[in-house]
Structure 1
Amino acid sequence: MIRHPVARPRIAVAVALAALLAASAATAADTTAKAGFASAATAAQQWQKDAVLVNVSTLQADADGKAAKWGYMYYSPKSKRGYTVDVKGGKVVETLEVNPYVRDAVGEFVDSDKAMAEARKSGLKIKGKTPMSLMMMGQATKSPGVYWSVSGGIRKGDVSVLVDGKTGKFSYKQAMP
């Protein structure tokens, strides 16, 4: 037992500070895709005024559709270049001009937590962290659209789900053979 008159208050302060730091770290890690969108969009507009959002992704989504870091890709029709913006805890942590691999704007989209909830309702099982990506798909078909793609794994029987990025409704699922 600690009997020193100064030690007890110091320990209490240390415990309180540790709890505050842990709480702020957890809050920074728990963000949806839309939580970092404004910061990413500001950075992209500073890069090129005509920049449009073409992809949102993370490799580390949790079962609630939240992640510590989200990547946003923009495309500039004028410059024909891409720009990636990584956001963590609401702050831009990295940007990079790239050759674009997608060019079609996604426009308005449902947030990652709603997409994940629909994917789980549709049979997706999450084991730890999982990749999530939002982009235009099916351009070569009669029904292109913006979709959230959520992967449940790469083992036999694991399910991947597509959720409509505009409505948040289930679209398609496939089990790994």
Structure 2
Amino acid sequence: MEEEEGKKANVVKIRESEQRGEITWVNDIDYRGFGVNVSECELEDEKRKQKFTFITDIKITKNNAKKLMNAGRSRWRIENEGFNRQKNLRYHIEHASSQDYNAMKNHYLLTQITEIIMVLHEHGSKILRSMKKTIKEISSRLLEAFRGQTLTDEDIAQLGKPMQIRFT
């Protein structure tokens, strides 16, 4: 990573089991009027060399550099595996489903919504697991709810309120 306009690059060495490398970062780089922090991690083991670059608004220090790098790698892994599963295993979205741009966007957004619902079913809360129903049974019941129930004004008002979903 090159230093931006004389800003000091910081380094943390990594030596874990079979991996070694370093994390280098620079804080407070101006990007279109926003201050961003950039870290770059180079890892090496017996099999390969890897390089990861992350941009964050969190100030990077010697105390949190490794934690931020691990969080970035985990997030990348989740996104990469999720998109791969959508593309190749579940929904087979390997090619354009339409020539119309809005139709393609809508198709993909519906695919994303479907994936969220499937992940909630597969890794869902204790309540879903306590129902002792198969995913197929729960999905069928959910489909019937979508088909047969109408949203009320009260339901729509609830959508504007903040909510949390927790997995335990």
Larger radius of gyration: 2
Return the TM-score normalized by structure 2: 0.25
Q: Which has the higher helix share?
A: 2
**Relative contact order (C-alpha < 8 Å, sep 6+): which is higher?**
1
Return the TM-score normalized by structure 1: 0.24
Q: Which has the higher strand share?
A: 1
